[in-house]
Structure 1
Amino acid sequence: MSDPIKSEAYGGAEMGMSQVEHAHNADLDEKAAFAEYKADAIEAENAEHNMTVLEAVRAYPMASFWAFIMSFTIIMESYDVFLIGNFVALPAFQEKYGVQQSDGTYVIVTKWQSALQVSGQLGALIGVFLAGPLTSWIGYRWATITGLMLLNVFIFAFYFAESMPVIFVAQLLEGLPWGIFIANAPAYCSEIVPIQLRAPATQMLQMFWAIGSIIVGAVTYVYNPIKHSDAYKIPIALQWMFPTPLAILMFLAPESPWWLVRKGRLEEAAKAVVRLGRKSRARPTETVAMMRRVVELEKTEKSPSLLELWKGTDRYRTLIVCGVYAAQNLTGNLIANQAVYFFEQAGVTTNTAFALGLITSALQMIFVMLSWILTSYLGRRTIYVWGTLINTGFLVALGIAASIGDPKAHSASLAQASLGLIISVLFTLGPAPASWVIIGETSAIRLRPLTTGMGRAAYYIVEIPCIFLGSYMLNPTGGNLGGKCGYVWAGTGFVCFVLAWIWLPEMKGRSYREIDILFRRKVQARKWKKTVVDVNDDE
């Protein structure tokens, strides 16, 4: 007869051993799963590193297409910004809303010229702060579709406006969806393409900015001789060409797989990866594992917040995005945005000014495409830093050209107009397109919608007073400086060059994991290029 006490003890021991073995096996399974997941992540990251640009295009053709569609949303802000810039030089608009001068011509007074230039930017400033939380909540697609539908409505207000205050309010309302587009586009484009395509995908934003100005330049050049309201009403109405078709395309677009991984929707993320690449070459399991690895590195218990942007290493990353965005207004961009009016004030005829504005926009588009090659092979920091310095030199030359001899002489006018054109075009070869790549790459993945929104807010906060300053410097009823404004922008441009040289790192060819690690290690900006990050590092 067996001893019940001994049997119970033996059974308990056996059960205890079973639990230990079960826990041990579970631990082994977990370690094996982690090892497999990390191996997949490493394989996907290595595959991206080893691709050439052409191989990346072949492997991810639809990613390039959807980046193109998202970039197209920028055309609407560009169109309207250049439209307002051209309206202040349009005779029919001047006669309707301007003040008659002693020589019989009409001029939009400085306060309204500046107010019109900043109205859309004020709305966009509000829009970018709405974009971050909205995109974090509903995703890039639905946030963009919402903005496009709102824009359809707000164009009505602009079209039927008959006074300066109503135009100001209509422009402010149009600015709200602009803020959503400009905050989302660089983030979405940088997230849906592999490493080798991040530069051209985000630089398309600058190309569409140029295309918007080309359309405006062509339309206002055609309607410039017309002396009734059609000269400005038709260009306003043409804005309706864009929002609805783009909203339909964005409805069909895949959501960013990075956003889906952040939300824990891994199956949907894998499907999005398949939609972005060729099915024969897509490796969704490995790609999603790579994304999970980065998201896990950045994971915290708290939801992303604006306050988090200003803590720890994220503060440095936020300052880079804000600084690069803000610097666009301080290195010659405002001359580009007010090109037609600048050419007029430099002394050329109205028709010539509109023709030069159109030529400038066409050259900008060509130079943006050239910048794809330069940024892909030379790097972001190199193009941005030295491009800023070169532009600063031309701004000084512009100031000198306006200071020597009779500023109203034909030769002086041509010199100033030529330098204004060169500055506007070179800006789109170096600092401008490189800045879009930097903006798309710098922020942490989990904070990206908030960081790009904050960066664009910095752009508008700097741009608004700069517009007032720029308008005052050019306007005959203000400072009437003409090309001498080059001295002012050369001073601000040089400050931007120095700050970028000290603090802007080179992120060319880096995965988001490597970028996270280099920021956390606090590697000096000028040493990023030579710093090696092991493929197995998780920090």
Structure 2
Amino acid sequence: MSNDIETKPYSAAEVETKPDVYEMEHVEQPKMNDPSGFKADAVEAENAEHAMTVLEAVRAYPMACFWAFFMSCTIIMESYDLFLIGNFVALPAFTLRFGIYDAASNSYVIATKWQSALQMSGQLGALIGVFLAGPITSRIGYRWATLFGLMLMNATIFVSFFANSLPVFFVGQLLEGLPWGIFIANAPAYCSEIVPMRLRAPATQVLQMFWAIGSIIVGAVTYVYNSRSGQSAYKIPLALQWLFPTPLAIVMFFAPESPWWLVRKGRHDQAVRSVERLGRKSRLLNPSETVAMMRRVVEMEESASAPNYIELFKGADLRRTLIVCGIYAAQNLAGNLIANQAVYFFEQAGMSVNTAFALGLITSALQMIFVMLSWILTTYFGRRTIYLWGTGFNIVMLVALGIAASVNTSKASQYAQASFGLIVSVMFTFAAAPASWVVIGETSAIRLRPLTTGIGRATYYIIEIPCIFLASYMLNPTSGNLGGKCGYVWGATALICWVTAYFCLPEMKGRSYREIDIMFKRRIPARQFAKTDIGVLEDE
């Protein structure tokens, strides 16, 4: 297509009210200060993305949706193992093999310190993994970094499977966490980079759906094996982890690299081929123009030095880093840990073992359904709006949970606690969690994205590890024994997250990465993002 950008439609009213902009775009192209000419194509591509509807974007980028789907599948492995360990502490065969006798409950339980240690071991490994993911991905790309993680996952499962003591089990889970860190750092970044603007929300929200799918698989497996008394009750669920890495590695071997990553490396011809593989050429998609749009953003962010962690804490990037870290940290502070320990929570609320496992499975199934419903929600409402309303609703439910646990013990109280716990878990995956993934994928600068998502997820684990100890202490009958009263604690932390988000979380719905870059550089207040106009020719 010609570099002439006169094809951008303007109404008569717009020509009257914005004569300067009209003249710049339609009369004097040299005003773009674009000696190479590619910025004109960049404007065309950005205008095309703004004009697309969601359905048009799906039709223009069918393979981008396909590859985002499979990249998101890697999240199943962290979800599966995390929920599996959460269920093991309530699994009779596991507690009988590794637990201690509790006279008060006349049963075997995993000691509080080991209950917490096992649940944080994978997160500790993932904390190391996310710091490795940024430099590795910046150097070799999302595709090869993911393949490396999948092969590493295959190897580390052996340690947990053959563990015959809690210390060895701890080491096995820690090692499994290393590839988790790579997957969780790369998946939201890759998904947000390969799809057009209108698909950024559903493409990144798929991550939460696969998180729910992992918990559904765990719920089904442990529900089947919870009545078994031998080692197979926990060995077989562990072995099932081998079903995921190799098939995913075969599929991801054929995946295209992120065109944004290729542009950052100066490999523009390969970036064009990557865009061609992600979409299909039509009036809505011109690969050369799309790469020109990427070049424009990358050149705006250009720096003399290679991307490094120090840059994340300088200038406008500091604010972006804090938003990503804050939104990740809030995932642990708004009651989500009740979902991660759903079966154990239901047991402590007074449910029988079978009922607790059944409720855990129902919770996971509802989470998957509500994640899919959230795709519709984000099409019509902004990320900020969804996050604030969703978190606000959960604050009310958490306080109600605490109140239900504070009244006299009865069947009604137990059912109320179970109900409020289930509602909190499901509503988190309907509003706050999906919105969080979109914010994580959109906020960071393109140049620093692998590093920003990595350090953001590291913040998640740094907050989660002490929270796991706190959650285990509050629920364990040999320790805090708070049961549903933990709703007061999580309600208070969720309120802090809500207040922080109200003042600090910007609205980025319908914004190109160029527009987001400019608004952060101009230090636009969070509550003004949605009202700020950025011209198509502005680069700073």
Aligned partner of 2:350 among 328, 347, 350: 347
CA distance in 2, matches of 1:242, 1:35: 47
Aligned to 2:400: 397
CA distance in 2, matches of 1:55, 1:387: 29
Alpha-carbon offset, residue 33 of structure 1: 6.5
CA distance in 1, matches of 2:34, 2:156: 52
Aligned to 2:187: 185
Aligned to 2:18: none
1:533 and 2:534 correspond:
yes
Once the two structures are superposed, the pairs formed by residues 252-401 of structure 1 within 5 Å of their partners are 252-280=254-282, 282-401=285-404
1:300 alignment partner, SS class? coil
CA distance in 2, matches of 1:452, 1:36: 33
Deviates more, 1:281-290 or 1:358-367: 281-290
1:241-266 per-position Cα deviation (integer Å, ceiling 9, x unaligned):
00011111111000000000000000
1:246 alignment partner, SS class? helix
Alpha-carbon offset, residue 35 of structure 1: 6.2
Aligned to 1:483: 484
Alpha-carbon offset, residue 36 of structure 1: 2.8
The answer on whether the counterparts of 2:76 and 2:213 sit within 8 Å (CA) in structure 1 is yes
Q: Which amino acid aligns with 1:265?
A: R
- Sort the Cα spacing of 1:302 and 1:57 in 2 relative to 1 into closer, same or farther, 3 A: same
Q: Which amino acid aligns with 2:56?
A: E
The answer on whether the counterparts of 2:151 and 2:246 sit within 8 Å (CA) in structure 1 is yes
Specify every segment of 5 or more residues in structure 2 that has no aligned partner in the other structure, as ranges: 1-28
Specify every segment of 5 or more residues in structure 1 that has no aligned partner in the other structure, as ranges: 1-27
Once the two structures are superposed, the pairs formed by residues 120-139 of structure 1 within 5 Å of their partners are 120-139=122-141
CA distance in 2, matches of 1:467, 1:254: 37
Aligned to 2:247: 245
CA distance in 1, matches of 2:33, 2:360: 63
2:35 alignment partner, SS class? helix
What stretches of structure 1 move > 2 A for 4+ residues in a row? 28-36, 279-282
Alpha-carbon offset, residue 405 of structure 1: 1.6
CA distance in 2, matches of 1:79, 1:252: 25
Deviates more, 1:166-175 or 1:377-386: 377-386
Q: Which amino acid aligns with 2:401?
A: L
Q: Which amino acid aligns with 2:201?
A: A
Alpha-carbon offset, residue 463 of structure 1: 0.2
2:350 alignment partner, SS class? coil
Q: Which amino acid aligns with 2:355?
A: T
CA distance in 1, matches of 2:539, 2:311: 21
1:510 and 2:514 correspond:
no
1:446 and 2:447 correspond:
yes
CA distance in 1, matches of 2:250, 2:538: 42
Alpha-carbon offset, residue 120 of structure 1: 0.1
CA distance in 1, matches of 2:134, 2:539: 27
Q: Which amino acid aligns with 1:70?
A: M
CA distance in 2, matches of 1:51, 1:120: 41
- Sort the Cα spacing of 1:66 and 1:104 in 2 relative to 1 into closer, same or farther, 3 A: same
Aligned to 1:107: 109
1:225-256 per-position Cα deviation (integer Å, ceiling 9, x unaligned):
11111110000000000001111111100000
1:116 and 2:118 correspond:
yes
2:141 alignment partner, SS class? helix
The count of corresponding residues between Structure 1 and Structure 2 is: 510
Aligned to 2:38: 37
Alpha-carbon offset, residue 279 of structure 1: 3.5
Alpha-carbon offset, residue 356 of structure 1: 0.2
Alpha-carbon offset, residue 373 of structure 1: 1.1
Q: TM-score, normalised by structure 1?
A: 0.93
Q: Which amino acid aligns with 1:287?
A: T
Alpha-carbon offset, residue 280 of structure 1: 4.2
The answer on whether the counterparts of 2:32 and 2:537 sit within 8 Å (CA) in structure 1 is no
Q: Which amino acid aligns with 1:533?
A: I
Q: Which amino acid aligns with 2:388?
A: V
Alpha-carbon offset, residue 376 of structure 1: 2.1
2:229 alignment partner, SS class? coil
1:293-342 per-position Cα deviation (integer Å, ceiling 9, x unaligned):
00000001011110000000100000000000000000011000000000
Please tell me whether Structure 1 or Structure 2 has the larger radius of gyration of its CA atoms: 1
- Sort the Cα spacing of 1:107 and 1:318 in 2 relative to 1 into closer, same or farther, 3 A: same
1:301 alignment partner, SS class? coil
Alpha-carbon offset, residue 34 of structure 1: 3.2
CA distance in 1, matches of 2:352, 2:89: 15
1:517 alignment partner, SS class? helix
1:34 alignment partner, SS class? coil
CA distance in 1, matches of 2:413, 2:59: 50
CA distance in 2, matches of 1:404, 1:31: 69
Alpha-carbon offset, residue 101 of structure 1: 1.9
CA distance in 2, matches of 1:536, 1:30: 9
- The RMSD of aligned alpha carbons is 1.3
CA distance in 2, matches of 1:97, 1:33: 68
Alpha-carbon offset, residue 104 of structure 1: 3.3
1:503-535 per-position Cα deviation (integer Å, ceiling 9, x unaligned):
000000000000000001111100111110000
CA distance in 1, matches of 2:296, 2:282: 24
CA distance in 2, matches of 1:410, 1:209: 32
Aligned identity (percent) is 73
Alpha-carbon offset, residue 31 of structure 1: 8.8
CA distance in 2, matches of 1:350, 1:431: 30
Q: Which amino acid aligns with 1:285?
A: S
The answer on whether the counterparts of 2:281 and 2:287 sit within 8 Å (CA) in structure 1 is no
Once the two structures are superposed, the pairs formed by residues 151-190 of structure 1 within 5 Å of their partners are 151-190=153-192
Alpha-carbon offset, residue 184 of structure 1: 0.2
